[in-house]
Structure 1
Amino acid sequence: MMKQQNITRTKGITLILIGSILWGVSGAVAQYVFQKQHVSVEWLTAVRLLISGILLLAFSYRKEGKHVWEVWKNKKDALNLTLFGILGMLPLQYSFLAGIQHGNAATATVLQFLGPAVITCYLAIRSKRLPTFKEVSTVFLAVLGTFFLVTRGDIHSLSISGWALFWGLASAFALAFYTLQPYTLLQKWGANIVVGWGMLVAGLAFSFIHPPWEIEGQWSFPTYAGVTFIIIFGTLVAFYFYLESLRYLSASETSLLTSAEPLSAAFLSVIWLGVTLDFVQWLGAFCIISTIFILAAKKRDIKEINC
């Protein structure tokens, strides 16, 4: 019995680590196609959402059949799902990719990890209570880490562009909304259906801003390979592995192990794309990532689905 538990736990750990690393690697690949191949952030956002949404719903249809369509028959659920796609999924996907374009994959990914600290502040305010010591520590480390990451410790200068900081912080707030808003939908319909429709709704909405057939960039084999990797491995496979890991691990354990995402993004950015992070910036990244470990120790977990 104990041996079987160890096997399933190892499987869960393996799945979430691979999924998190794929998320991190896809961030570095996105930086490459934006900054080296000049692919449009708007185009990649629309195409990534549309293709991933369609494939995820097709996968769900194979398992659940016509149940995939039932969510649209309930007016309240249909409205919430539409809001999730347009106000949650779309801002999260676009702000994260825009943060990479204006900065780099390392800082964009780390700044997005401020999301749990934003959630902590929101829940404390909504419940009209004073924050606990653990929550205060989390917010302090998040703010301190952000300061180190974007200024290198010098309050008079920014080590990244203003737009990179703006979109990085925007992705953290978008992640908070994305995590909290669809809670009831996820409980009722499941993650595959909710996220699949959320992606498709977001992709269709964004197509009115940037049609997917308006293609930009320098297209060669590395560009095609990079975009394919982002859509298939950095979105579909990574998301599927994350969901599968929840069958074997608790939400707090998966939250801890998703810290592999910013670490892999930072590692690839440095060794492949020539991004330089000094000691103070690494310290800032460590402060932000450590908030995940602190929050994961709480008894009440918030299940989170990443980009």
Structure 2
Amino acid sequence: MANMDTAVPSPKSWIGIIQIITAAICWGTLGIFSTYLNQIGFSGWQVTILRIVTAAFIILAMLPKLWPDLIKLRPKHWLGLALQSLIGVLSMSICYFFAVSYVGAGPAVALLYTAPVFSLLFSAFLLNESITRKSALLSLMAVFGVGLTMLGEQAQVNWGIVLGLLAGMSYSLYGVLGKRAMHYAHPAPLVFFTSIIISAGVLLLLPETYNTYEQLFSLPLLTWGYVLGLSLLGTVVPFGLYMKALEKLPASRASVFTIFEPLTAIALAILLLHQSLSLIQYVGVVLILLAALFNAVLNGTATRVPRWLRLKKRQKV
């Protein structure tokens, strides 16, 4: 049987590819909107609140459709979804937006894309997936790229670098824990819905959330545009497009085209924010992005079933 990944993409697959690229470009705007909000006076913590809570109110429109699936969830399912939300969404957003405020949108999104390196480690420990020699070499490439981003004229080994790496670590856990969630046959819209709603529910328990929105109400209408861009254009729309695209092409192929996210973020940071990098930093960013791209391509051409999933199938038989 011919390998479907090497076949000429069908018209339906091309639509999926366009949806993925559009989603990646939308995700790439997060650093720009967060920088604008930083300049107005919002901290990285407040930007996280504005993104997640506002997105939660928007996606409440999904509740009637997802309600039958929600009421079927067991306590252990809620625990897994809560971990994915608090680590993969809340923690990632906090670390990423603080990293943007420290080192700028370009380096921050490059550090975020160290996620494939952490995914290898977490997949090995949590999903019992093996680490190949190629994957290990790509991890070293990404680590070397991170080292080069620290050698620029303005970049230093500071909290921005650390937080950017923590964002990549949290981002990788979102995917790894998402695999666990999908193992329980949770539909992708349900996983996305709970990942936002649970984190928003935690944030709504904090007084800082209400102080943040009180501050927002006192600012010009343009500020609301930045918040909507952050939560609608940078969160809800890309996730919706990504989920629709996964109906048309494999996840392994879809992950290749998410490389447009950091490219968009870096281009917008240069054009709109006039943030420049030194030559050595550009080399580091390129190495990180190449490691992420090659990791996606290699996974797409040699997809393996995790050991824990094979064991589950044998038990069912």
How does the TM-score come out when normalised to structure 1? 0.86
Whether the 8 Å CA contact 2:24–2:259 is kept in 1: the answer is yes
Deviation at 1:199?
Answer: 1.3
> Which residue number corresponds to residue 294 of structure 1?
294
More divergent stretch after superposition (207-216 vs 220-229): 207-216
Question: CA separation in 1, counterparts of 2:154 and 2:304?
Answer: 34
Residue 262 (str. 1) matches residue 262 (str. 2): yes
Deviation at 1:291?
Answer: 1.4
Task: Give the letter aligned to residue 211 of structure 1.
Answer: E
Question: CA separation in 1, counterparts of 2:245 and 2:182?
Answer: 16
Question: CA separation in 2, counterparts of 1:162 and 1:12?
Answer: 39
Aligned equivalent of 2:53, options 42, 47, 50 = 50
**Residues 1-307 of structure 1 mapped to structure 2, 5 A cutoff:** 6-34=10-38, 36-59=39-62, 61=64, 63-64=65-66, 66-72=67-73, 74-124=74-124, 131-152=131-152, 159-160=155-156, 162-187=158-183, 188-215=185-212, 216=215, 219-296=219-296, 297-298=298-299, 299-300=302-303
Q: Report the 3-state secondary structure (helix = DSSP H, G, I; strand = E; otherwise coil) of the residue aligned with 2:71.
A: helix
Deviation at 1:44?
Answer: 2.7
1:156-193 Cα distance to aligned partner (Å, 9 max, x none): x8714611111101101111221112323234221211
Task: Give the letter aligned to residue 261 of structure 1.
Answer: E
1:178-220 Cα distance to aligned partner (Å, 9 max, x none): 1112323234221211221221111221333453221247822
Q: Report the 3-state secondary structure (helix = DSSP H, G, I; strand = E; otherwise coil) of the residue aligned with 1:182.
A: helix
Q: Cα 1:11–1:60, aligned 2, differ >3 Å: closer, same or farther?
A: farther
Q: Cα 1:301–1:162, aligned 2, differ >3 Å: closer, same or farther?
A: farther
1:74-94 Cα distance to aligned partner (Å, 9 max, x none): 121122222222233211121
How does the TM-score come out when normalised to structure 2? 0.83
Q: Cα 1:142–1:250, aligned 2, differ >3 Å: closer, same or farther?
A: same
Question: CA separation in 2, counterparts of 1:43 and 1:67?
Answer: 33
More divergent stretch after superposition (213-222 vs 11-20): 213-222
Whether the 8 Å CA contact 2:37–2:47 is kept in 1: the answer is no
Task: Give the letter aligned to residue 159 of structure 1.
Answer: A
Q: Cα 1:5–1:141, aligned 2, differ >3 Å: closer, same or farther?
A: closer
Q: Cα 1:243–1:126, aligned 2, differ >3 Å: closer, same or farther?
A: closer
Question: CA separation in 1, counterparts of 2:178 and 2:72?
Answer: 13
Q: Cα 1:174–1:5, aligned 2, differ >3 Å: closer, same or farther?
A: closer
Deviation at 1:125?
Answer: 5.6
Q: Report the 3-state secondary structure (helix = DSSP H, G, I; strand = E; otherwise coil) of the residue aligned with 1:170.
A: helix
Whether the 8 Å CA contact 2:122–2:173 is kept in 1: the answer is no
Deviation at 1:121?
Answer: 2.8
Question: CA separation in 1, counterparts of 2:191 and 2:128?
Answer: 30
Give unpaired runs (5+ residues) of structure 2.
1-7, 306-317
- Paired residues, number: 291
Question: CA separation in 1, counterparts of 2:27 and 2:156?
Answer: 22
Deviation at 1:50?
Answer: 2.3
Question: CA separation in 1, counterparts of 2:44 and 2:26?
Answer: 19
> Which residue number corresponds to residue 305 of structure 1?
none
More divergent stretch after superposition (242-251 vs 254-263): 242-251
Task: Give the letter aligned to residue 21 of structure 1.
Answer: I
1:208-251 Cα distance to aligned partner (Å, 9 max, x none): 34532212478224322111111111110011111111122221
More divergent stretch after superposition (43-52 vs 91-100): 43-52
Deviation at 1:116?
Answer: 0.8
More divergent stretch after superposition (253-262 vs 75-84): 75-84
The two structures, once aligned, show a CA RMSD in angstroms of 2.5
Question: CA separation in 2, counterparts of 1:39 and 1:26?
Answer: 14
Whether the 8 Å CA contact 1:46–1:210 is kept in 2: the answer is no
Whether the 8 Å CA contact 1:99–1:164 is kept in 2: the answer is yes
Q: Cα 1:259–1:130, aligned 2, differ >3 Å: closer, same or farther?
A: closer
Deviation at 1:136?
Answer: 2.0
% identical aligned pairs: 21
Task: Give the letter aligned to residue 196 of structure 2.
Answer: M
